[in-house]
Structure 1
Amino acid sequence: MLHHVHMSTRTSPTVKRRRIAAELRRLRARTGMSAEEAGRQVGLSKSAISRIENAESTPQVATVAALMRLYGVAESDIEQISDVARQARTRGWWQRWNDVLPGWFDTYVGLESEASHISEYEPQLVPGLLQTADYARAVIRAEHPDETPEGIERRVELRLQRQQQRLEHPPKLWVVLDEAVLHRIVGSRDVMRNQLKRLADVAVQPGNDLQVLSFEAGEHGSMGSAFFILRFPDVGDTPCVYLETRAGSLYLEEIDEVEQYTTLFDHLRATAVGVRRSEEMISEAINRL
């Protein structure tokens, strides 16, 4: 039986492509057919089937329908998933920035744009969604020393556009920041003061929880590496964990992997100081500048 889910009002082609991939993987596994066999029946290579099932490529609507017929799915259910497949073939707003958007980050922005809950641990920097333009510019310059001034501005624009989109459909945001983030001067003292004021504003907005992991907390899990847990409004879209490195990104989507990171995040939340004390620490950091 297909998962009947209400369509989210947000339409991120990336999330829809993930939904199709998961559905087709599940249906093929149920029939016991190999990827090679399924491909042969609909005129696709084994690798084309794998790319579709791993959400690496967006299948034609007709291909999705043909595979579902092959797997013995009822026509009414095929129609429902064909709608999702059509949405998967639309362009995301972020694709206007393809000149400065690496393929692996394109996927993240597509997932972020439809997430209903974002939990994030950040040991080094203010998260991209909460950065001021000046702070973002300083970080981007440091990360891309060979980029032209125009290229830097394009990247800053994309970051601001992500924030703008978030205002239209605000996800619940729970951020644990290492105390180092409050002390590291990025850009200049002025830039940093404005950035911390932005953090102070965000911290008191409904739907946001901001906690500081103080130096006194000592050693803890995930030291030195940021991670994000993204959850989606539709039950058919499983949560995922996003890890970013200089070379690219890693998505963890298996239930046990997501659970491991959820437990780790729970430990970090419990180790961090409370929301009210965190607000005080941000104010103290502003006063020091």
Structure 2
Amino acid sequence: MAPTRTLLEHALTTGVTALDTAFNYDRFTGHRVLARTAGELLDRFEVSTKVGYFPDGHILAPARLRAAVEQAVADLGRPPDTVFLHNPEREPSGLAAACEGLAACREAGLCRAWGVATWNPAPLLAVAFTVDAKPDVVMVRAGLAVRGEALDAAERLTVKLGAGDRWGMAPFAGNPNDPVWSKVDASVFLEPGQSASRIQAGLAAAFALPAVSRIAVGTSSPQHLAELAAAVRYTASSGVVAEYRELLRAGAGR
């Protein structure tokens, strides 16, 4: 769902200055809708987007990816700051060529940075050695809903690809409004002396599962956005996170 003008204005007042979208969102109209809704506000945000899905399927052919990036520039009225390969694990054999294609987009000024956004990084580990172009960032699932092996794979992929940064996404399994998150108490992950809401504690924990510098979270509520934005003041305990990771590995039979 595209953000409203009111939500974008509220985001700026709460210190949120980054937006994440994709070429295929809103039935391939998301970029145009965002530009129309945001108007002059769009230049106050850092915009990341993803390419790889097309009306005729998931395609990593470099020419198709470049055409999608060029269309994103036209629809947004400006180059996106970061462009990601969208779920390349659907076609691992195309990873190397796709990375070269997005690196060329960056060199051509069609974006400032590029990266790999993967829901399931494990299939990419076997082909990461074929990639010569080094992504600026890898985006992976983060948070308490992510299984231990996926956390390990995300960290390994970041290293194998030589990415300069790692971002997180979907910390609440894609639905932060699900009532279950009002029942899950993630405060045990916080450093002592911190008092946060359950949603805020869950987001703070997600920043450490795996370690990421930013997290993409979807919301349509200004109140919920303010609560999430305030979560960046809280810090997860590295000791508790390490113990939790070991429990996950033990549960997986490692």
Q: TM-score, normalised by structure 1?
A: 0.27
Q: TM-score, normalised by structure 2?
A: 0.29
The structure with more helix, counted as a fraction of residues:
1
Larger Rg computed on CA atoms: 1
- Higher relative contact order at CA 8 Å, sep ≥6: structure 1 or structure 2? 1
